[in-house]
Amino acid sequence: METYPKVESVAVLAGMRLRITFVNGEVRVYDCSPLLAEEPFAPLANTAFFRQARADAHGYGVVWSDSIDLSESELWLNSVPAEQEAA
């Protein structure tokens, strides 16, 4: 089983994106907008709620509530390096 680096911190960006710093020092950007098409993630359309994103206390992902979160593997596999995203 492959392991993925844990999340150290998260910052909310414009355009439904998250800037994630992983414990290995890599900074990546994850676009949450495609998630809005899935019912469990519909609350993320509320900007105030989306801005409440925080890193899980143990680094296992990003959390909004008890029922809405993203795992570190999802964030790692489906994000782009921050420097690539800015280009």
pLDDT for 38 equals 96
| CATH code for the domain of 54 | 3.30.2020.10
Place of tokens 């359309």: 45
Q: pLDDT, tens digit, for every residue of 69-81? A: 999 999 999 999 9
Domain that holds residue 22: 7-81
The answer as to whether 44 is a domain residue is yes
The answer as to whether 70 is a domain residue is yes
The answer as to whether 77 is a domain residue is yes
The answer as to whether 42 is a domain residue is yes
Name residue 85's beta-bridge partners: none
Residue 35 pLDDT > 70:
yes
The structure's pTM equals: 0.93
Average pLDDT, the chain: 95
Instruction: Domain count for the chain, please give it.
Output: 1
Residues 6+ apart with CB under 8 A from 32: 16, 17, 18, 41, 44, 50, 70
The answer as to whether 19 is a domain residue is yes
The answer as to whether 75 is a domain residue is yes
